[in-house]
Structure 1
Amino acid sequence: MKKGFIRYSLAMMALAGLLSGCAQGNGQSTEGTSAAKTEGTSSKGGEGTVKIAVAGPMTGDNSEYGIGFTNAAKLMADQWNAQGGVLGKQIEIVPYDDKNTSEEATTIAQKIVSDGDISGVIGHFSSGVCMTAAPIYQENKIIEISPSASHPDYSKIGNYIFRNNTVISKEGAASVDIAVHDLKKKNIGIISIMTDWGTNTSGIIKDLVTGLNDPNVKVVAHEEVMEGSDDYTPAITKLKEAGADVVICCGMYNLVAPVAKQYKNIDPDIAIVGFSNAYSQQLIQLGGEAVEDVCFPVIFFSESDDADVKAYVDEYKKVYGNSPSALTSQAYDSVGILLTAMKEAGTTDSEKVRDKLNEITYKGVTGNIKFDEQGDVDKQFNKVTIKDGKFVKMN
């Protein structure tokens, strides 16, 4: 059991998505928003429902993530509802916009616990926001499953706190492996956003490189930048002067895209490695030719030949017009495992559902999900790159 108590803007895209049904991006997409309606309301309503909250940024620079979470949750709920729902009740997805800020997340979490009728929370998005809201859920014994939190301390907050995502050290190891073994680079530069996640992740990358015990492989420079900046040239110049032949970007697509554009104006041959939170069609739309050959480790790849993945992707495209991203798909599976735990427990009682979550193994589109005693999962990564404006698996 678990222990311990612990903005290049897309605003117009997000607004357009919320009004017209078309904003989440992915490993192939700009996903629809038919599931993301007024905060704290749902598409159904009425009594006799099982309510699941989806908390994330539905507006603002990171809106594609929250909208994607909501779309995926609704898709899973619709599939269960077509088969009779869970425990004889229809499932209702209730979206909340936390704007990806800790202040708003605190308010949202308090709203959710005050509702008294929410059977679980899928979200939030960023680790720092998750770690602000999680103590409130823990204190009120409400299950939270984040599809995206990767900070190692997140799941330590309590035994109602789960993550359907790998801890950043594992993804970081995959990124370093791509840089060193796949791309055959030796002089590693790091550029990271000035957030708790960015600082923690960059530190992990440094430790991982040191742990290789290869005197020829080293971190030659690390630059911290403000997320959403228009000009990364000063940081890029320092990385270039330090002799970096590969840069690991600790940030989302709105960091990777402009960094790739600006860096390749200075050094066209620079190799760039990102993380799964940058694996988004928005990256290609914003970066264009500059993001060709950018690489990432991802748990979910929408072009997989797996029959279950193909069926899911086809259905998602049918409903929302585009393919789902890795984090969106982890939200889809998070709803699936939560509903399965409710079904097997025969109740929505949070303690009994929590206990069931600790026992079951769930076969999802992002792999087999089995929470360990800390509420974490271990998953395998695919290595993906961009060729001719499309995501493809690395050879």
Structure 2
Amino acid sequence: MKRALSIILAVAMMASMLTGCGGAAKSSSGADSKPAAGDGTAPATDGVIKIAVAGPMTGDNAEYGKGFLNAAEMKAAEWNEQGGVLGKKIEIVAYDDKNSGEEAASIAQKIVSDKDIVGVIGHFASGVCMVAAPTYEENKMIEISPSASHPDYSGIGDYIFRNNTVISVEAAAGLDIAVNDLGKKNIGIISIKTDWGTSTSAVVKGLLEEKAADGVKLVAHEEVMEGSDDYSPAITKLKAAGADAVICVGMYSLVAPVAKQYKQVDPAIEIIGFSNSYSQQLLELGGAAVEGVRFPVIFFSGSEDPMIKDYVAKFKEEYGSAPSALTSQAYDSVGMLLEAVKAAGTTERDKVRDALQNIDYAGVTGQTKFNEIGDVQKAFVKVTVKDGEFVQL
């Protein structure tokens, strides 16, 4: 076993998180639930192997869930064209968790009851993942999140994996852009008031404290409501504090309007985001204001690597836009899960889990190996916006 963590304690912890999660509790999309499959390890018996994709298919974060789904369907289609896996066709089943912990808890129960589902790709937000993960672990259902970055997520159990770096690693890469690439020392933070925003901004603050001896300091931190239209009060305080670079802890829906409003009062401000803001929507919402915005990403769609170029071309042809980093991590997550099924020679979940634990997978987001707690280490690419396009620094 790759880690020994009490599931009882994990369930208790997650239950407390669930209490604080918002979001309407409406019925999810996806397959109807089936009778429980015993201990969760029974193999599929008919001609299909299902992979669940769970994420926000509706609501403010729907782009991410739909991106996961598109990537999963594209990867499954590639395998099905080659005959599927173990002689069975692969079917992707979508579940809309609306980025709500309450909805995710209900969806997890449906997923684990379907004997044909071999694993779950999702969920999107770390907090939502951590609400659902104890149910997957208890029922020996593999969960691979393409986006969870909370350091405690993968420690929930042996069946819980992430194809994403922990947030401290990405935050350090973003701070490296501000301090070493841009030469800035007076750093401001603007973050969304969510579990992820609060925990991530705390990580950034800790990293800034470690750089105090080099003259780098946090001059101000402003928290804002997600989806707000007016960030001028926070921007005024950051500017008054003397920030010459601002780290935006939020998605493109924060970075784009902050860039627009901030550059009206300080055109020279440098803005650094996270990989979840690397999206075509950033360019569409931000326009000229997001010129020069920088962020670290695991996947860059403008790469000259032949495998990545082929993947991006096919994705654009199918869906009309280039894939984001998180979408591409979902694409590779499906590939890894199917390779694990192939290597195991069965859909028995415990054997597939063991194969996944030992996988060495060459994908569009780099070479992937899981460590003993289901985490990955990947190299970051530094990306900026130049002339309305994403380019590598």
Q: Same-fold call, TM > 0.5?
A: yes
- Aligned AA (2:341): M
Q: Tell me the CA shift for residue 235 of structure 1.
A: 1.0
Mapped partners of 2:31, 2:146: distance in 1: 21
Q: Which residue of 2 aligns with 1:79?
A: 78
Q: Tell me the CA shift for residue 41 of structure 1.
A: 4.3
- Aligned AA (1:315): K
- CA separation of 1:198 and 1:3: change in aligned 2, threshold 3 A: farther
Q: Tell me the CA shift for residue 39 of structure 1.
A: 2.0
Q: Which residue of 2 aligns with 1:346?
A: 345
In structure 1, stretches of 5+ residues that fail to align are 7-37
Q: Which residue of 1 aligns with 2:132?
A: 133
1:2–1:375 Cα contact (<8 Å) kept: no
Mapped partners of 1:140, 1:88: distance in 2: 25
User: Which string of whole-angstrom CA distances, capped at 9 and with x for unpartnered residues, describes residues 243-270 of structure 1?
Assistant: 0000000100011111111111121111
2:191–2:223 Cα contact (<8 Å) kept: yes
Q: Which residue of 1 aligns with 2:3?
A: 2
Match of 1:96, SS state, is: strand
Q: Which residue of 1 aligns with 2:201?
A: 202
Instruction: Determine whether 1:108 maps to 2:107.
Output: yes
1:329–1:366 Cα contact (<8 Å) kept: yes
Instruction: Determine whether 1:332 maps to 2:328.
Output: no
User: Which string of whole-angstrom CA distances, capped at 9 and with x for unpartnered residues, describes residues 258-301 of structure 1?
Assistant: 11111111211110000000000101111111111000000000
Mapped partners of 1:2, 1:246: distance in 2: 40
2:48–2:116 Cα contact (<8 Å) kept: no
Mapped partners of 1:129, 1:275: distance in 2: 19
- If the length of structure 1 is used for normalisation, what is the TM-score? 0.89
User: Which string of whole-angstrom CA distances, capped at 9 and with x for unpartnered residues, describes residues 20-68 of structure 1?
Assistant: xxxxxxxxxxxxxxxxxx92149xxx94100000000111111010001
Q: Which residue of 2 aligns with 1:270?
A: 269
Mapped partners of 2:179, 2:4: distance in 1: 36
User: Which string of whole-angstrom CA distances, capped at 9 and with x for unpartnered residues, describes residues 132-173 of structure 1?
Assistant: 111111111100000000000110111100000000000000
Q: How does 1:35-114 map to 2 (within 5 A)?
A: 39-41=29-31, 47-114=46-113
Q: Tell me the CA shift for residue 208 of structure 1.
A: 1.1
Mapped partners of 1:349, 1:41: distance in 2: 20
Mapped partners of 1:314, 1:215: distance in 2: 44
User: Which string of whole-angstrom CA distances, capped at 9 and with x for unpartnered residues, describes residues 95-129 of structure 1?
Assistant: 11111111111111111112232110000001011
1:191–1:248 Cα contact (<8 Å) kept: yes
- Aligned AA (1:392): V
Q: Which residue of 2 aligns with 1:316?
A: 315
Match of 1:222, SS state, is: strand
Q: Tell me the CA shift for residue 209 of structure 1.
A: 1.6
1:194–1:224 Cα contact (<8 Å) kept: yes
Match of 2:391, SS state, is: strand
Q: Which residue of 2 aligns with 1:13?
A: none
Q: Tell me the CA shift for residue 358 of structure 1.
A: 1.1
1:186–1:216 Cα contact (<8 Å) kept: yes
Mapped partners of 1:285, 1:386: distance in 2: 12
Mapped partners of 1:136, 1:233: distance in 2: 42
2:164–2:375 Cα contact (<8 Å) kept: yes
Match of 1:322, SS state, is: coil
Match of 1:115, SS state, is: coil
Identical amino acids, percent of aligned pairs? 69
Q: Which residue of 2 aligns with 1:391?
A: 390
Mapped partners of 1:98, 1:257: distance in 2: 25
Mapped partners of 2:95, 2:282: distance in 1: 25
In structure 2, stretches of 5+ residues that fail to align are 11-27, 33-44
Q: Which residue of 1 aligns with 2:190?
A: 191
Match of 2:144, SS state, is: strand
Mapped partners of 1:88, 1:107: distance in 2: 32
Instruction: Determine whether 1:124 maps to 2:123.
Output: yes
Mapped partners of 1:272, 1:173: distance in 2: 15
1:128–1:196 Cα contact (<8 Å) kept: yes
1:51–1:118 Cα contact (<8 Å) kept: yes
Mapped partners of 1:41, 1:374: distance in 2: 30
- Aligned AA (1:2): R
User: Which string of whole-angstrom CA distances, capped at 9 and with x for unpartnered residues, describes residues 208-227 of structure 1?
Assistant: 12222434211111111111
Mapped partners of 2:352, 2:3: distance in 1: 15
- Aligned AA (1:283): L
2:49–2:88 Cα contact (<8 Å) kept: yes
Q: Tell me the CA shift for residue 2 of structure 1.
A: 2.6
2:280–2:322 Cα contact (<8 Å) kept: no
RMSD: 1.3
Q: Which residue of 2 aligns with 1:255?
A: 254
- Aligned AA (1:163): R
Q: Which residue of 2 aligns with 1:14?
A: none
Mapped partners of 1:68, 1:215: distance in 2: 40
1:257–1:291 Cα contact (<8 Å) kept: yes
